[in-house]
């Protein structure tokens, strides 16, 4: 009766150990701690004083120690097995007693001697879906008793539990490696992508000796106005890129027309005014990660009263991004030197905006544009984008006086 009670007690103990092992290997703890805890539970179940867990590296066919107890200087320890031995072990997939069946122990070859140096007596290989992940080694029982069939069955179950944990970690490591690798590739592609866009912007501006930096200024102005209007980061990035590329169609326009100081002929006007459509044709063939770039480029010379080009669209028909761009593009053109005239002062430029308020320029865009300028003059903006480029001193009193008279704007 006592023997039955002891067997039942041992069974309950082992079931409890398996439950604890299951909790341990699924816990969010550090992987090294999980492996060590798993090894200690295995050793405790069989009263073994020495043990180790080796992880298998399939590339160099080597088992490397990742956890140990009761063994000195295990760091860097490991052993190798032949491909044939690995295949047989995976097929056998049961614990191996180094003092048991010589045929099974012989699978280890020269590695058997290395394991015996580490006091190994029983090996439980960690296998998941015919993939060898590692091995647990433990020494003789502290009590001197031999390992039983039941012990091997229990060890096999525990090894299976640990195998899944090791498998999950291996998958996670591979995924993280792939993620890091892909992230690096993405960053390189992203850098190339942006470098290409900036190269296009530089090529556009290079055609006009008077407007160097125009595309970058329009891009910056679009960005701050869109941000003031509460656009999302993704939408803001889209209009920033569109600002850099809005004049890309000028690449197809003769340079002499772009830089002509005298009035243009009707044919020259027609060629110059074709640049939004040409830009649209170029950009519509590119799959941008942001929406609306080709249409913002096509419509940035439209006017809200329907007298713009190329499509003579009216207010709501014009994309909001194109309405923003129409204002800041004209504002930058007015406040920089051109072949046919010197730059206008801020007052003169804002007088033009007021004159064309509701005709060329959308009041819904003019209002946040004015708000940004006021904030920059008052020092409420950390990195001002518009006022520093105007090449004149502006104070709040002067700005408020100049901005008076815009309908619907306080």
Count the residues in the chain.
410
Instruction: Identify which of 210, 235, 205, 211 has the alpha carbon closest to the alpha carbon of residue 223.
Output: 235
Whether 201 maps to a domain, the answer reads no
Token pair 């020092």 in the structure block, residue: 379
Residue 197 domain-assigned (yes or no):
no
As a dihedral over the C-alpha atoms of residue 322, residue 324, residue 330, residue 336, rounded to 10 degrees, the angle is: -120
Give the full edge-to-edge strand order of the sheet including 51-57: 78-80, 62-69, 51-57, 131-138, 122-128, 96-97
Domain-located, residue 142: yes
Residues forming beta bridges with residue 127, ordered by sequence position: 132
Say if 358 falls within a structural domain.
yes
Are 6 and 153 within one domain? yes
Domain closes at, from 137, 156, 177: 177
Is 188 inside any structural domain? no
The pLDDT of residue 175: 57
Global pTM exceeds 0.75: no
Boundaries of domain holding 165: 2-177
Between 299 and 180, residue with greater pLDDT:
299
Residue 184 predicted with pLDDT over 80 = no
188-227 pLDDT, tens per residue?
Answer: 777 877 888 888 788 777 776 666 788 999 999 999 999 9
Q: Are residues 241 and 368 in the same domain?
A: yes
Domain-embedded: residue 341: yes
Mean pLDDT of the chain: 83
In this structure, are 162 and 298 located in the same domain? no
Q: Are strands 62-69 and 131-138 parallel, antiparallel or unpaired?
A: unpaired
Contact 93, 130 (CB under 8 A): no
* Domain-embedded: residue 184: no
Residue 198 lies in a domain: no
Query: Can you give the CATH number for the domain in which 122 is found?
Result: 3.30.450.40
Tell me the per-residue pLDDT of 277-318, one tens digit each, with 9 for 90 and over: 999 998 998 888 888 999 999 999 999 999 999 999 999 999
Contact between 314 and 324 under an 8 Å Cβ cutoff? The reply is no
279 plus 137 within the same structural domain? no
Indicate which CATH number applies to the domain containing 324.
1.10.3210.10
Q: How many domains does the chain contain in total? A: 2
């Amino acid at each position: 009766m006592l023997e039955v009670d002891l067997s039942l007690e041992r069974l309950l103990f082992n079931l409890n150990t398996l439950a604890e092992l299951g909790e341990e290997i699924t816990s969010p703890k550090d992987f090294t701690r999980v492996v060590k805890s798993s090894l200690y539970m295995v050793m405790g179940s069989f009263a073994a004083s020495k043990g180790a867990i080796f992880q298998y590296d399939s590339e160099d066919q080597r088992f490397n120690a990742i956890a140990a107890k009761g063994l000195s200087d295990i760091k860097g320890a490991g052993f190798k097995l032949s491909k044939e031995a690995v295949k047989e072990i995976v097929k056998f997939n049961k614990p191996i007693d180094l003092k048991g069946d010589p045929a099974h122990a012989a699978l280890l070859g020269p590695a058997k001697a290395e394991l015996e140096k580490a006091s190994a007596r029983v090996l439980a290989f960690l296998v998941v879906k015919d993939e060898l992940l590692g091995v647990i080694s433990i020494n003789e029982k502290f009590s001197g008793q031999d390992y039983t069939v039941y012990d091997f069955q229990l060890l096999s179950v525990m090894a299976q539990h640990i195998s899944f944990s090791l498998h999950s970690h291996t998958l996670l490591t591979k995924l993280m490696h792939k993620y890091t690798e892909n992230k690096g590739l993405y960053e390189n592609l992203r850098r190339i992508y942006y470098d290409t866009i900036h190269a296009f912007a530089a090529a556009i501006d290079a055609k006009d000796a008077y407007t160097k930096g125009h595309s970058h200024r329009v891009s910056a102005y679009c960005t701050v106005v869109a941000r003031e209007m509460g656009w999302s980061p993704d939408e803001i990035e889209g209009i920033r890129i569109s600002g850099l590329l809005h004049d890309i169609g000028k690449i197809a326009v003769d340079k002499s027309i772009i830089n002509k100081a005298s009035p243009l002929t009707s044919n020259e006007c027609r060629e110059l005014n074709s640049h939004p459509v040409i830009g649209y044709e170029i950009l519509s063939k590119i799959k941008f990660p942001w929406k609306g770039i080709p249409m913002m480029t096509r419509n940035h010379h439209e006017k809200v009263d329907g007298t713009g080009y190329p499509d003579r669209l009216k207010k709501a028909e014009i994309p909001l991004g194109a309405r923003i761009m129409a204002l800041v593009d004209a504002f930058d053109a007015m406040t920089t030197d051109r072949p046919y005239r010197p730059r206008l002062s801020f007052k003169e430029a804002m007088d033009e905006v007021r004159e064309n308020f509701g005709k060329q320029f959308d009041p819904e865009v003019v209002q946040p544009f004015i708000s940004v300028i006021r904030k920059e003059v008052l020092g409420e903006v950390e990195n001002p984008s518009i006022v520093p480029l105007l090449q004149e001193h502006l104070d709040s009193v002067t700005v408020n006086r100049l901005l008076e008279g815009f309908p619907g704007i306080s």
